[in-house]
Amino acid sequence: YRASKAALNMLLRNFAIEMARRNADFIVAGLHPGTVDTALSEPFQTNLAEGQLTAPDAAASNLLTVLAGLTPEDSGQVFDWQGDRVPD
């Protein structure tokens, strides 16, 4: 899992560089939605503190808000559902 995550992050960065060469306003960003209330997350939900589980529609809304606030300088980075940069 960690190796594939690292590969995805590097792909994101490289794609951002390549796209910026074609259009300086292009933004490529990764998004981390948090833990969303889906069948996939169901086995892990009992370990979550109250307020850590997000409904799918709220998660989508959060990510749209993050996307709306990005600038070309943010390209190549990963952001969480609150708009905070996820460290490398």
The region that residue 36 occupies, defined by phi over 0 for left and psi between -120 and 50 for alpha, beta otherwise, is beta
Look up the pTM and report it. Answer: 0.88
The pLDDT value given to residue 29: 98
Q: What is the pLDDT along the chain (88 residues), one digit of tens a residue?
A: 899 999 999 999 999 999 999 999 999 999 999 999 999 999 989 889 888 999 999 999 999 999 999 999 999 999 999 999 999 8
**What pairing do the DSSP bridges indicate for beta strands 35-36 and 53-54?**
parallel
The pLDDT value given to residue 88: 81
The pLDDT value given to residue 68: 98
> If residue 32 lies in a helix (H) or strand (E), which one and from where to where?
strand 30-32
CA dihedral 53, 8, 11, 71 (to 10 degrees): 10
Long-range contacts of range 34-43, CB-CB < 8 Å, 24 or more positions apart? 34/59, 34/62, 34/80, 34/81
